Amino acid sequence: MHQKKKKKKKSTGENTRGLTRHLVQRVKVEEENKRIAVIKKRTMMKNMKKKKMKRMDTKTKTAVQGKKKKKKKKKKKKKKKKKKKKKKKKKETEQAEEKKNNNETAEEELENKYRTNSEHGTETPRSPQQQQQQQQQPQPPPRFQRERLFSQRTDS
């Protein structure tokens, strides 16, 4: 079986041989503190992943769930909606005016037709109601009309 290779200890970059015992002791303590800090940070990150924590709280330096609360700005949407309603009303009034204008022009055209036809001797009724009334009037059968024409010719 393969044996695991032993990891070499990283040197601090300082030559500790020439230092006094007191200084060596201080360097060892500093190294130990750094190592402990790294371990603490690693364990904190593992705990954050386990608990599904999302961020580190800066003051307490602990894992906290969720995000920082942001101040909400007040929205002024109601005024905008009112403005939109006013615009719609304006549009509706404009449409109504256009319809009125169209109706008036149509009536004028009908009157012009009536005038021109009356000049030629034929009258066209103005409204569709009058057209219906004219169609509903009983018309004599064509046979009698022929007889009348014939009798007028013979009488004269």
Closest CA to 63 of 86, 46, 76, 80: 46
Residue 124: predicted pLDDT: 54
Residue 155 falls within a domain, yes or no?
A: no
Is 134 a member of any domain?
Answer: no
Q: Pick the last residue of a domain from 40, 64, 88.
A: 64
**Amino acid identity, position 33:** N
Query: Does residue 138 fall inside a structural domain?
Result: no
Decide if 5 is inside a domain.
no
- 55 within 8 A of 62, measured Cβ to Cβ: no
* Residue 114 DSSP one-character state: H
Last residue of a domain, one of 64, 89, 118: 64
Cα–Cα distance measured from residue 126 to residue 144, given in angstroms and rounded to the nearest whole number: 30
pTM beyond 0.75: no
Amino acid, res. 89: K
Q: Is residue 7 part of a domain?
A: no
1 is a domain residue: no
Kindly report, residue by residue over 37-88, the tens digit of the pLDDT: 999 989 888 877 777 666 777 777 776 766 666 777 777 766 666 666 666 6
Q: What does the alpha-carbon distance between residue 137 and residue 51 come to, in Å, rounded to a whole number?
A: 94
In a domain, 103, yes or no: yes
Using CA atoms, how far residue 95 sits from 56, 76, 102, 107, in Å, is 61, 30, 10, 18
Shared domain check, 122 and 86: yes
Give residue-wise pLDDT tens across range 111-154: 777 666 555 555 555 566 666 666 666 666 666 666 666 666 55
Whether residue 58 is found in the same domain as residue 84: no
C-alpha separations of 17 from 2, 11, 21, 29 in Å = 35, 12, 9, 17
Same domain, 27 and 55: yes
Decide if 12 contacts 27 (C-beta within 8 A): yes
For residue 77, give the 3-state DSSP assignment.
helix
Residue 119's pLDDT is: 54
- Domain end, chosen from 10, 34, 64, is at 64
Same domain for 56 and 97, yes or no, is no
- In the chain, which residue ranges form alpha helices assigned H by DSSP? 21-51, 77-120, 128-136, 142-155
| Domain count within the chain | 2
- In three-state secondary structure terms, 64 is strand
pLDDT number for residue 141: 61
Same domain for 84 and 60, yes or no, is no
Q: Which domain holds residue 58?
A: 21-64
Q: What's the Rg (C-alpha) of the chain?
A: 52
Q: Is residue 59 part of a domain?
A: yes
